[in-house]
Amino acid sequence: MQNDFLFQSPGDIAFSIMGFPVYFYGLIMAFAIFVGFLVAYNLYKSFYEPQNAKYVTEISPYLIITGVLGARLYYCVVNFSYYVSNPFEILNIRQGGLSVHGMIIFGLLSLYWFSKKYDLSFKKLADVFFCASALAQSIGRWGNFFNSEAFGYPTNLPWKLYIPISRRPLEYLNDEFFHPTFLYESILDLTIFIVLILNFKNLSKTPGKVALLYLILYSVVRIFVESFRVDSILNLGGIPVAQVISAIIIIISSCLFFKSYKS
């Protein structure tokens, strides 16, 4: 095989400590979460209520836990047939297996609960955390690169991604190069973040608009990226469930977003 490809993961293990492997996926996710927290904190402090920014710090650890648990639970439910046969693998998140849709659902529920507990605006919290999530997701998608996962159909484009045979679906064992869908989504998530940041001042005049715009833009991105991916396990009528959920989110969020102009 010629080494003429642009992308190839060096492997999923970054290093080992006393024989215990430390995975790139975990390191990248930790960094993404940290960056997301900093962005959320500074947005809340700059555009909303500086005196209450401390609550972003208090909320974040719990939000991270519920977000990760929700992301994992959603992923396991979508891949139910595998995890019902391998229940102990449910706890093994070091090698990947987190769903953004699960994070969104549980994140919203958690933010609503915390907004009531601390008497804060749910919409303002959603604005800063979802804006920050766009950047965190852009960073986090590189964990898929090191795991050689979340890739697309075979391709010979200049930016093709080499996938080891052990990671390829059975129907593509003879194909070496695939669409780097992790890269597509990483770039598009970064674009969403830039759009939200550039418009945050104006959108924040009506709390909730930033969060709704994030949900709309991310869902459009997800529908696009899913059209390339080969690992969509669960389908509804031949359509990946991720696209179905994204379409529902677009409809609901768009209605709420444009309704805010009339209120």
Q: Is the pLDDT of residue 98 over 50?
A: yes
- For residue 164, which of 16, 1, 22, 15 has the smallest C-alpha distance? 1
Q: Is 161 helix (H, G, I), strand (E, B) or coil?
A: strand
Q: What is the 3-state secondary structure (H, E, C) of 63-77?
A: HHHHHHHHHHHHHHH
Give the integer Cα–Cα distance in Å for 19 and 93.
18
pTM of the model: 0.88
Q: Which of 61, 43, 259 is nearest to 130 (CA)?
A: 43
pLDDT per position as a tens digit, 220-231: 999 999 999 887
- Asked if residue 232 lies in contact with residue 191, where contact means CB atoms within 8 angstroms, the answer is no
Percent of the chain at pLDDT exceeding 90: 65
Angle (nearest 5°) at CA 131 between 145 and 70? 65
Q: What is the pLDDT of residues 7-32, one digit of tens each?
A: 899 988 988 998 899 899 889 999 99
Phi, then psi, of 211 in degrees rounded to 5: -65, -45
* Bridge-based pairing state of the strands 177-178 and 161-162: antiparallel
CB 230 within 8 A of CB 181: no
